[in-house]
Chain A
């Protein structure tokens, strides 16, 4: 069964610190992996998209990595800000799946002053 697992479920860090969120997937055949940020009460917003051949993708202070061999991805947030408090969702797409994305349950990040 195609699945996406994220860890940790929740994380609290101090403003200015770095953190790394994890995503493991069992989706096959793999097409691409996306990271989204979802603020409370809002819709998800795209951060990065990576294909099989891409190892790293950055978007400002967000850097996503992908290891297609081990089926793992991580999202690294550098110099965190209060506005980074949100849920971060890993989303994987399988080839031939058309509209069906597989969403992780998300990691809820709280950045404290």
Chain B
């Protein structure tokens, strides 16, 4: 298993509060991703990073921001949590771009977030 740790694993928060999810990797992989998984949808990309301080938006980035100050850590922040952001959040890592066929994309175990 790839060394990916997500924290917290479970969180309940109130609408309007900020929330930060952390992804920590020990593989020294360059690329890191945040996805959300909801019933009736495939995983959807929120933000991704291609290096320290290099990040970009994914398909469903509204209401989310990210930061990557070290290779090993990728933080996802919900600036003002809403009920529509209740979801399971997965961090993923790879040593090459996701479109590259020669790499495996490893996923963390997920963070369950409930916004009430």
Majority SS at the chain B contact face: loop
B residues at A contact (CB < 8 Å): 4, 31, 33, 40-45, 48, 50, 56, 58-59, 90, 97-101, 104-110
Which among A11-19, A39-47, A70-78 touches the partner chain?
Answer: A39-47
CB B37 to nearest CB in A, in angstroms, measures 9
Majority SS at the chain A contact face: strand
| Nearest neighbor of B35 in chain A, beta-carbon distance | A103
* In contact, A32 and B104 (Cβ under 8 angstroms): no
Interface string of A26-62 (1 = CB under 8 A from B): 0000011010100001111110011100000000000
Interface string of A77-113 (1 = CB under 8 A from B): 0000000000001000111111111111110000000
The 7 closest A-B pairs by CB, nearest first: A103-B42, A43-B107, A99-B48, A32-B101, A103-B43, A93-B99, A51-B101
* In contact, A31 and B42 (Cβ under 8 angstroms): no
A64 at the interface (CB under 8 A from B): no
Complex contacts, B106 vs chain A, CB 8 Å = 46
Complex contacts, A32 vs chain B, CB 8 Å = 99-101
* In contact, A97 and B98 (Cβ under 8 angstroms): yes
Complex contacts, A21 vs chain B, CB 8 Å = none
